[in-house]
Amino acid sequence: MPEKPSKLMPALYGGIIMGIISGIPFLNFVNCLCCAGVMFGGFMAVFFYKKDLPPDNQMFTNSDAMALGALAGVFGAILGNVITGVLLLTVGNITGKAMYNMVIGLYDSIGLLDKMPADAVEQMERGMMDSGLSVTNIVLSFVIDPLFGLLGGLIGYAFLKPKALPPAQTVTQ
């Protein structure tokens, strides 16, 4: 029986996609839609793994997809935190600032800003500007990214799974 290809590289590629989406400001807004960016990374890990398999990839199993998605999530969490950290050190929390300006603009346009207590506005600003890189965020990234990466891997398998072979026919002579 032929050996299965390594899961490491496809998971790493998926993790790179995940990390870039999660770490790059504004691009990480994709994750606001139920972690779509993270799930996409898990999906892509399964896609890359399937590409390494022979065309009649009957040895591609459900458990492979689960492992690929979760592993891509671990890689994605590492890379996402590194990118976030580097960007915070160099350009600051531009996503938080943009988000704050967007919300304030929205509240102002509907006339809600004047009615809001100053404390609430201040707390909202603090909440958005502090949501950069903290110990809590790093720990949570290593829980949430593998979990949603795994979900992406499961969806990927449902999409890309090998078609079942037709039943073997009896040869009569």
Partner 1 sequence: MSKVSFAYALALAGTVVWCALVVAAPYCVHLGGSWAPVGETIYTGFHRICHQLDGRSLHLFGLPFAACSRCTAIYFAFLAGTVVYPFLRPLRTPRTPSRLTFLLALAPMLIDVGLALSGIHESDTLSRLLTGTIFGVMLPFVVLPVYLGAVHEFSSRSSSVHTHMKGTVDA
Report the nearest approach of partner 1 to the CB of residue 45 (Å).
14
Distance CA 160, CA 166 (A): 18
Stretch (H or E) spanning 20: helix 8-23
**Considering beta carbons, is residue 5 or 37 the nearer one to partner 1?**
37
In this chain, which of 45, 99, 100, 149 binds partner 1, going by CB under 8 A? Answer: 99
Closer by beta carbon to partner 1, 97 or else 161: 161
31 binds partner 1 (CB under 8 A): yes
The answer to whether the beta carbons of residues 157 and 65 sit under 8 Å apart is: yes
Give the contacts of 106 (CB within 8 A, at least 6 positions apart): none
Regarding 82 and contact with partner 1 (CB under 8 A), the answer is no
Alpha-helix residue ranges (DSSP H) falling in 24-134: 36-52, 62-91, 94-109, 118-129
**Site size toward partner 1, by CB under 8 A:** 30
- Does 65 bind partner 1 (CB under 8 A)? Our answer is yes
Near partner 1 by CB under 8 A, which window of 9-17, 48-56, 85-93, 152-160?
152-160
Q: Give dist(CA 35, CA 144) in Å, integer.
A: 9
Site for partner 1 (CB under 8 A): which residue of 136, 169, 170, 173?
136
Question: Measured between alpha carbons, how far apart are the two ends of the chain, in Å?
Answer: 28
Chain contacts with partner 1 (rule: CB under 8 A): 29, 31-35, 38, 61-63, 65-66, 99, 103, 106-107, 131, 136-137, 140-141, 144, 148, 151, 154-155, 157-159, 161
